[in-house]
Amino acid sequence: MESSLVPMFSAIWFGILTSISPCPLATNIVATSYIGKRIKGDYSTLIAGFSYTVGRSAAYVCISVIIIFSLLSIPEIALFLQEHMNKIIGPLLIFAALFILEILAVNFSGFVLSHKLQKRLGDGSILGASALGFIFALSFCPISAALFFGSVIPLSLKYESQLLLPFLYGVGTALPVLLSAALISFASRTAGNFFNKLAAVEVWLRRITGVLFLTIGLYFSLKYIFGVINF
């Protein structure tokens, strides 16, 4: 992977944007509530928050390794990606931007855990918090799927980082849980206000990111596919 910090910061930013989107935000609220209410003690709550983060990151790393290893293990596909990666990124970013901006919509809600299973996983167990994070990470909605498969995976392919970038993305998706785990221990109302503020700014952050995706996607397409621009 190149020494530049841009792809690492990008992966974290995509994760943060995912975490405050409506669907992932709802699962983060559920996770934080169970972790905060059922695990006693300030340090235990923070440890549970980190465990939840590790669980989410592990899920994204597993998906990334499976996808990237499968692609690169076939010489023809690996050679094709090396030669045409810039041409692929353009349309992918445009397609992802259409979902992020909600111009395109798909009824893709993923799977939902039963209330009983959520309670069991979050009921005072550090391992349960990790499992909760791992399972919730697999509950893709259109925006999170567009950000992960349309941005993080191509970025990991480009920089040959099937471990670090997906892991950082996972940290970003769990950041609200980490930031609010201590708050819920002391004042659930404060944590509730924290999540309400996240929901309020999510729309504008998503629109800004969507426009950036669209702009960069158009640039890559015009430069590497159509050859219209050379800068």
Concatenated DSSP letters of 36-88: HHHS-SHHHHHHHHHHHHHHHHHHHHHHHHHHHHHHHTSHHHHHHHHHHHHHH
pLDDT 10s per residue in the chain (231 long)?
445 688 999 999 999 999 888 778 777 877 776 666 555 555 677 778 888 899 999 999 999 999 998 888 888 887 888 788 888 989 998 988 888 888 876 655 544 555 555 555 555 567 878 888 898 898 888 788 889 998 999 999 988 888 999 999 999 999 888 887 766 656 555 555 666 677 677 788 888 888 988 999 999 999 999 989 888
CA distance 33 to 195: 12
CA distance 108 to 28: 18
- Residue 109 to residues 83, 140, 224, Cα–Cα distance (Å): 35, 7, 34
Indicate if the alpha-carbon torsion angle 151, 108, 52, 55 is positive or negative: negative
Please report, for the chain, the start and end positions of each structural domain, with discontinuous segments joined by +.
6-84+108-144+155-199
- Residue in the structure block whose two tokens are 């499976």: 66
- Contacts of residue 220, defined as CB under 8 A and 6 or more positions apart, other chains included, come to 86, 87, 89, 90, 93
Q: What is the largest CA-CA distance in the chain?
A: 61
pTM of the model: 0.80
